Structure 1
Amino acid sequence: MQEFIKRLSTKVRDSVLCTGGLLYLLHSPLSFTSNEQLSNIKNNISRQEQQLNTLQTHLKKQEQSISSFATKIHNTSATLKLLETDIVSLNRESQHLKQLRLGQIKLLKKLLNNQYRQGKHSQLNTFLSEENSSVIDRMTVYAKYLSKARTHAINTLSTTDTELELKYHMLAEQTRKQTVLLSVLTSVQTKLKKEQGTQQKTVNAIQYQIRSNKGYLSELRNNESRFKIELEEATKKTHISVGKAHIKMEGLGKYKGHLSSPVKGKVLHSFGSVQTGKLLWSGIVISAKKGAEVNAAHDGTVVLSNWLRGYGLMVVIDHGKGDMSSYGYNQALLKKVGDTVKAGDAIALVGNSGGQTNTGLYFEIRRKGNATNPSPWLVR
């Protein structure tokens, strides 16, 4: 009987996720082994687990929604930058055409004036004044030249006017698009801010649920187990990604110390440092500004692009030969499974998804399934 009580106590204590349940278990008298009390404890634990699971489900939906908004903002901002460049270029071209047009008008006026003056010395006047034939021929050639030059000048001016009108039309269209996109951007930013407020409330509720060390440790261990399962599933697909990749999938082996840093910032948590209790960090956490681009450390194929409990929105890149790099806590994902990337390509946006209180990037490297310190692999 004592052995049964001991095993049962251990099993229940390890599954408790919040301080309330833990205190109840530790301070209850020995008679808690009665069926009614055991049932109450199990119900309490089950209810707490269900509440935590429900909160995590809400968090997933909220952060996926945030990802959608953030991605749209990122893409819209990029389009606006291109439009701004086009508008500047069109304005410059329009100014050039206006200056060209002024020069063409000036030339045409000069040609018309010369033609008018030459008209006063027409062949008839020259004949009446008994000029010789050589002078008449020269004046005729000059008249033809003026007429041809005038026609060319008129045609050139007409072409310039058409080009200038087209530039004005394009400028007006690009400006209209810019106005529309700015309006869309403002609207999406408002929605994003609102969703982030809701997300923060959910994160606070989750933190409250797992505030006890036991609950926190249990949650982190479960998250790590889930992540390993996801990686194992992704690993099974690596032969497919290697076969379809349009880039070299030669692994990371010869690139130690030469990988691009995914973001620039201070390392908040180092590989192998204590996360909580006896649980250590399997990667590093780098502080970075929310919305900053996360770049691929090396060439590879995206084998995972999804929300994972505890890690938030995560991208995993297969580099071949059993080498993978993972990027978590993101605000938005810019790549999908099957996409090939080159070193330095933007793959995500920095965030604090997965219930994180601080903004940053979780970065991890695994070789044949085993986590390795990523710091020595990065360019110093």
Structure 2
Amino acid sequence: MRFIAHTITPGISAGLRQRFPGGSRTILPFVLTALLLLANPALAGNDVSPQQIRELKEQIAEIDDWLKDAEEERSDLEQTLVQTEQQISRATRERRELRQQITEQRTRLSELTNQQAELTATLNRQRDSLRQQIRAAWMAGDTPAIKVLLNEVDPENVSRTMTYYEYLSQDTVQRLEAFQTSLRALQETRQQVSATQLRLSKLEQDVAQRQQTLESSKAERERTLTALRSDIRGRQNQRETLEADRVRLEKLLQEVEAAIANIPTPNESQPFRSLRSKLPWPSQGSVARNYGESLAQGRLQQNGILLTTNNDAEVKAVHYGRVVFANWLRGFGLLTIVDHGDGFMSLYGHSSSLLTSPGDWVTAGQTIAIAGQTGGTDRPSVYFEIRHNGAPQNPNRWLARR
């Protein structure tokens, strides 16, 4: 709820002092309502001066409570973020250690691979040697030693020949045993190589997954903390705005009361209260939003009707009266307020041009403005309200059927 300075000076303060040097103060309740409550329709119908200030203070207090809770939540999030960063630090250190282990395991794997190659070469040599020895034995026949014994006459030659064959047999056995040993060593080395490769792969997966989990956790907490900080800044700005509104409101009340202290009541032969269901419509167009409809997700209610019309459509006064406000007001754009006496007022908002000034007398059906899109509407519109002693009235009960 922001008030622009020229809504009260000179449009009200100077203009009203010049036009109305004397009279009663019967217009004060509505002007306060028009200037103050229209900027925040949720306050419509309340006691203007103290009630709005109290509500502003309550809003400020609510924001203060929210900020206190949010600061505690932010502190918790920041502490959690610190813990996460410490965990990431430890994980990074563990990852370095694991990488060192991986390097060592890869070195071991390289050694095992070389050993496997050497064992394979040794095994191949042993296989070739055995193959040659077996072939030579086969070529000599199945029982070369018996043949030699039968053919030898000299005992010394027999003894020497048997010793030779004994050595040859032992060498064959040793070669076979060495071959089997090499074969077992090769199989074990292959198993170690496979196990080492599997262990390296799992280590790398574990390290990568742990790091990714921690990084994701950190990113999520940072997003939450960023959103909370942004929300806190927004609430702080809202609080500052409300505090400024409260100060501006108190000053505005003093200035408006001083400016309209002696405004006369309009004198019309046919009182406004007798025209229920007889007032002319303020402009051509269809009703886009009706009285009492929910606004702001149900927190507020529509205090008037919104007509959609064409550009340059005329906006007309519904009854005789005096213009008490013709200026811009946040949320309503260019706004005209007409006092009809006996506490009745009519309001005409979203105009593109105002054709009257504060203090002008107008008659029923007189064009007082041109329809437009000021005050935040997305198409040409006319906002129309009726108030009695500051309380919003249902315009449908006052306007004639059409």
> TM exceeds 0.5?
no
Quick check: which has more Rg, 1 or 2?
2
- TM-score, with normalisation over the residues of structure 2? 0.40
- Highest RCO, 1 vs 2 (Cα 8 Å, sep ≥ 6): 2
- TM-score, with normalisation over the residues of structure 1? 0.42
